[in-house]
Homo-oligomer: A and B are copies of this chain.
Amino acid sequence: MVEEACESVMNIGVEIQSNEGKNDECVELDIYPLSSYYFGYKDALLFKNYNLHHQLHKIKSNYAAHGLRTCVEAVILVELFKHPHLLLLQVRNSTFKLPGGRLRPGESDINGLKRKLTRNLSENEDGNGTEWEVSGCLGMWWRPDFETLLYPFLPPDVKQPKECTKLFLVKLPVSRKFIVPKNLRLLAVPLCQIQENDKTYGPIISGVPHLLSKFSFNIIQS
């Protein structure tokens, strides 16, 4: 394991002051820097390197066996230069993804997300995931058919959607080790760079600033 700070990753904690009861105000989200954060690497994860044809075949056979495929992804915020940054993983220097992944059949959203976060961002793969505090669902994206288009709603007359991706806000504790597989890069990207940059980040990630727009960010200086 290499004890290096991951490139471009900033050390921040997130704390939520929920005021769900108050209708008159939008929700406040405190973000504060935590320079005690630690970033390191662990062994590479095995990714199945399907081509598009095989991937589609696998998705179809999985659907036939288990029905709707559900993915859960984490929105984790850090602060840099007084602006919220989103933690993204980069695969093979190209694709950007939110930390998370596909649920096992019967697995709950929260348990599945914790398992994936531990796999992608923590040292101990066998942990019970208690170190991840998963907050509310921010949004859902639907794939009505075995095609590439995603919608932030279920289009009319779609009786059997094929995939649903749920985004959850994940609150970081004050102190945290991020241990990332060697073949992934952990990045902190400013919201203003992500916003409406569908071309680089895809529809789900480029839509995250919208999903966070109900929050007022309070940046707490340490």
Q: Show the binding face of A for B, using Cβ within 8 Å.
A: 20, 23-27, 81-84, 108-110, 134-141, 151-157, 166, 168, 190-192, 195, 207, 209-214, 216-217
Contact = CB atoms under 8 A, between A and B. Distances in A.
24 contacts: A20-B20, A23-B109, A23-B137, A23-B168, A25-B137, A26-B137, A81-B157, A82-B156, A83-B156, A136-B214, A138-B213, A138-B214, A140-B213, A140-B214, A151-B192, A151-B195, A151-B209, A152-B195, A153-B191, A153-B212, A155-B192, A156-B190, A210-B210, A211-B213
A81 B214 contact: no
A51 to B, nearest CB: 29
A214 to B, nearest CB: 5
A207 B209 CA distance: 10
Main secondary structure of the interface of A (DSSP, over half): mixed
Contacts of A83: 155-156
A140 B207 CA distance: 14
A210 B26 contact: no
A137 B195 contact: no
User: Which residue, A23, A27, A110, has most C-beta atoms of chain B within 10 A?
Assistant: A23
Contacts of A211: 210-211, 213-214
Contact of A152 (B138, B156, B212): B212
Contact of A207 (B153, B156, B192, B210): B210
B140 A108 contact: no
A190 B153 CA distance: 11
A110 B26 CA distance: 11
A108 B26 CA distance: 12
Contacts of A141: 213
A108 B151 contact: no
A81 B209 CA distance: 30
Nearest to A155: B192
